[in-house]
Each structure stands twice: as structure tokens, then as C-alpha cells.
Amino acid sequence: RKEVEQDPGPFNVPEGATVAFNCTYSNSASQSFFWYRQDCRKEPKLLMSVYSSGNEDGRFTAQLNRASQYISLLIRDSKLSDSATYLCVVTSTGTYKYIFGTGTRLKVLA
């Protein structure tokens, strides 16, 4: 079983739609969680950190469920510019090395 698993997609949604991604992780001792966004042939860029209490940044909401070992990302009112690959990241204890999921591709259609 992979340490971090994501549905690769692609998720094709119309502009204005709400879309949600889940990501599961296998190590119950994982401590930090993030969503990064990666555009084609570019570097990953931090979208948001994921806190136990959940957090929201504009149209984006992230949730963490430690009991079920998954994190989620909700995007409301999708824009064309949201088209990208969304990477789920979990860090191991101690070294903070990132363990990436393979990413979920989102295409927002006009």
C-alpha cells in the first residue's frame, strides 16, 4: 500500500462547480499535512496547510480526519485558473521530508 494515495482523475468540472478531492495516508504517526498545486511542468506551490480543526482560505477548504487517516480539499465556484494537479503531502516525524501523493488532475471547463 502506498504511503499517500490520491485518485489521479482527471476531474473535469464546469466553471462554477464545487469539487472535492480526498487523500488517504497510511502512517498514523504523520504529523503535518499540506495541499500543493502543480501546474504543468512547473514546481509545486503551497496551496494550504491542513489543520486538525480544518481551515478555509477563500474558495478552498481543507479538512483532516485523523481517525480515518484522510485529508480533503474542497474547491467552491471553480475557475478556469484552478485547472492544475493537486498534490497531497504528508510529512514524517523528525525530518519533515515530504511524502507526496501522485496528484489529482483537475480540469475546469468553460
The residues binding other proteins (CB under 8 A) are 31-32, 34, 41-46, 49, 51, 87, 91, 95-103
- Minimum distance of other proteins from residue 15's CB (angstroms): 26
Q: Whose Cβ is closer to other proteins: residue 63's or residue 103's?
A: 103
Q: Per residue in 40-70, is it b (16+ CB within 10 Å) or e — as a string? A: eeeebeebbebeeeeeeeeebbbbbeeeeeb
Angle at alpha carbon of residue 62, lines to 58 and 48, rounded to 5°: 70
Q: Whose Cβ is closer to other proteins: residue 13's or residue 100's?
A: 100
Most distant CA pair in the chain: distance in Å?
Answer: 44
Q: Which amino acid is at 100?
A: F
- Minimum distance of other proteins from residue 85's CB (angstroms): 9
- Minimum distance of other proteins from residue 45's CB (angstroms): 7
Q: Whose Cβ is closer to other proteins: residue 76's or residue 107's?
A: 107
